[in-house]
Structure 1
Amino acid sequence: MSFSQKILKWYDRNKRHLPWRNTKEPYPVWLSEIIMQQTRIAQGLPYYSNFISKYPSIFALSEASESEILKDWQGLGYYSRARNMHETAKFIVGELQGEFPNNYEELLKLKGVGDYTASAIASIC
């Protein structure tokens, strides 16, 4: 068994089961990456669950008011993340017809998306 096969086998036995790992759709992956920036999983998971329930699509998120988004974000800190997330949702819906960019370089152009987040979305989706 190669080293990479051993790592993958270890991961299969030890991975954490997180809801955004069960999809190839970019919206829940992006949402999780934005929420989890500088946040522990245990703290961010309830926020992710609330956001994905209340705003199940990029369209729903884009239609919410900024004050509603900020209220739902309350307690998570770094409110610029919430503002960037909302602006990006409106951009994706308004300019990209609701379709996320499908490559790393284009993902980097989204507000609030840096190297790590763009890499995560590009590699998962």
Structure 2
Amino acid sequence: MVDGVPGGRESLSSCHLPEGRPLLEPAMIADLLNWFARYRRHDLPWRRTRPDGRRDPWRVWLAEIMLQQTTVATVAARFDSFLTRFPDVFSLASAGEEEVMEAWAGLGYYARARHLHHAAQRIVEKWGGNFPRTFDEWAQLPGIGSYSAAAIAAIAFGEPVLPVDIN
């Protein structure tokens, strides 16, 4: 891992366009990594790592969903209370929808909470509570589009995929 980036410089430099050209030039990769090292925020609750130094897929996934259309400040204020109520995917999967909606209060866009709940149920049913590891597996879940699938797979598992935000 280079400067907190899963896969580091090596994985970024190995991404190529179909024509074989590198997706990012080496100078741009260096600029991006330097920018990230300077401005990344360690204080955000979803950036906490497990004792082994790896990212917690539950926190990564939850943050990616909560941060859609919601400010960082709002999510930061609600994140830990949601985790206290649902400390793992099993507790969310077994909760009733009303309980999930109540815990989601203040974050808006309640369809995200419903999708998160249904996806948690599918993760428990299909993978026994083990998180999917790849972009393709994440993309099969309710409420997970290309950006979220790539972000979760890259951040939590180091898969060399790039989340691209077109906004």
What's the TM-score once normalised by structure 2's chain length?
0.69
Letter of the 1:8 counterpart: L
Tell me whether 1:59 sits opposite 2:90 in the alignment: yes
- The 5-angstrom pairing of residues 30-69 of structure 1 reads 30-69=61-100
Structure 2 unmatched ranges of 5 or more: 1-25, 50-54, 157-167
| Aligned length, in residue pairs | 125
Of the three residues 34, 40, 63, the one matched with 1:9 is: 34
Q: Kindly indicate whether the alpha-carbon contact (under 8 Å) linking 2:46 and 2:60 is maintained by their aligned counterparts in 1.
A: yes
Tell me whether 1:113 sits opposite 2:144 in the alignment: yes
Q: Could you say what the CA RMSD is over the residues aligned between the two structures, in angstroms?
A: 1.7
Sequence identity percentage: 42
Letter of the 1:54 counterpart: R
What's the TM-score once normalised by structure 1's chain length?
0.90
Q: Where does structure 1 differ by over 4 angstroms across 4 or more consecutive aligned residues?
A: none
Structure showing greater radius of gyration is: 2
Q: Kindly indicate whether the alpha-carbon contact (under 8 Å) linking 1:33 and 1:117 is maintained by their aligned counterparts in 2.
A: yes
Of the three residues 68, 73, 76, the one matched with 2:104 is: 73
Which structure shows the bigger proportion of residues in helix conformation? 1
Q: Which has the higher contact order (CA 8 A, sep 6+)?
A: 1
Q: What SS is found at the alignment partner of 2:60?
A: helix
